[in-house]
């Protein structure tokens, strides 16, 4: 069984990551989602162990000191981290693992080197549309939205560090593009793994 690949998806808050991920996870087999740890409180409708592993600040910092996170970052005053062991176990089982992390976390993994990952940035059609989406979902007050918009401007400036850019103007098109990225990376991986054997079988 070949080891799975990491797909690192980053986007400003409100760009539509959750919707995109849910659709792609339903359509493609062989995918696993890495559930991050966070110190922020659960939002309405969120369940521990589904959207996130919700932990207190002390527990998170203890895990960080023990080196249990593949990456971690502080965002909007809360900590987020990806369990190193969970990702390794999922990939070792042959699943392609999707990490939903911010640009800080993506940069940390990129800087480690030796990690087989594809980096995808999901962008809104415009910052004005992003603010509209944040207000429509009704989860944040004006001050929080202002903070998210300021962070979004910084995150958008880092989009050229990613291999793939998907603009989420139309949900169905964005889903198809994300699927295409995954399938293309799988084909490239199989080419490296099986190419020699296939050539021996097909060529005289």
Q: Is residue 66 part of a domain?
A: no
Q: How many CA atoms are closer than 13 Å to the CA of 204, on its beta-carbon side?
A: 0
Q: Is residue 18 part of a domain?
A: yes
Higher pLDDT, 18 or 59: 59
Q: Is residue 72 part of a domain?
A: no
Pairing outcome for strands 164-167 and 117-123: parallel
| pLDDT over threshold 70, residue 85 | yes
Backbone angles phi, psi at 184, to 5 degrees: -65, -40
- Residue 161 tokens read as 């560090």
Q: Is residue 149 part of a domain?
A: yes
Residue 167 CA to residue 174 CA, distance in Å, equals 7
| pLDDT over threshold 80, residue 201 | no
**pLDDT more than 90, % of the chain:** 75
CATH of the domain at 147: 3.40.50.300
Q: Is residue 99 part of a domain?
A: yes
Structural domain range at position 144: 6-34+95-202
Average per-residue pLDDT in the chain? 89
Q: How many domains does the chain have?
A: 1
Stretch 177-196: mean pLDDT: 80
Stretch 21-28: mean pLDDT: 94
Distances (CA, A) of 179 to 28, 66, 184: 8, 35, 9
Q: Is residue 53 part of a domain?
A: no
Segment among 28-37, 54-63, 71-80, 116-125 with least mean pLDDT: 71-80
Q: Is 118 in contact with 185 (CB distance < 8 Å)?
A: yes
Look up the pTM and report it. Answer: 0.84
Q: Is residue 162 part of a domain?
A: yes
Q: Which pLDDT value is given to residue 2?
A: 74
Residue 12 CA to residue 154 CA, distance in Å, equals 9
Segment among 81-85, 107-111, 132-136, 186-190 with least mean pLDDT: 186-190
Edge-to-edge, what's the strand order for the sheet holding 37-38? 53-54, 37-38, 78-83, 69-75
Q: Is residue 128 part of a domain?
A: yes
Residue 99 CA to residue 87 CA, distance in Å, equals 9
């Amino acid at each position: 069984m070949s080891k799975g690949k990491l797909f690192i998806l980053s986007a400003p808050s409100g760009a539509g990551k959750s919707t995109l991920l849910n659709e792609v996870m339903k359509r493609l087999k062989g995918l696993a989602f890495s559930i991050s740890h966070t110190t922020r409180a659960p939002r309405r409708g969120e369940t521990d162990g589904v959207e996130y592993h919700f932990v207190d600040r002390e527990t998170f910092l203890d895990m960080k000191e023990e080196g249990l996170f593949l990456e971690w970052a502080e965002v909007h005053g809360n900590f987020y981290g990806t369990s190193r062991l969970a990702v390794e176990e999922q990939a070792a089982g042959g699943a392609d693992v999707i990490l939903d992390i911010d640009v800080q976390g993506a940069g940390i993994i990129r800087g480690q080197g030796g990690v087989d990952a594809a980096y995808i940035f999901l962008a809104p059609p415009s910052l004005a549309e992003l603010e509209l989406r944040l207000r429509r979902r009704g989860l944040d007050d004006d001050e929080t939205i202002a903070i998210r918009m300021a962070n979004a401007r910084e995150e958008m400036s880092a989009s050229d560090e990613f291999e793939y850019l998907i603009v989420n103007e139309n949900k169905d098109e964005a889903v198809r593009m994300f699927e295409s990225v995954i399938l293309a990376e799988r084909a490239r991986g199989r080419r490296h793994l099986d190419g020699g054997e296939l050539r021996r079988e097909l060529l005289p």
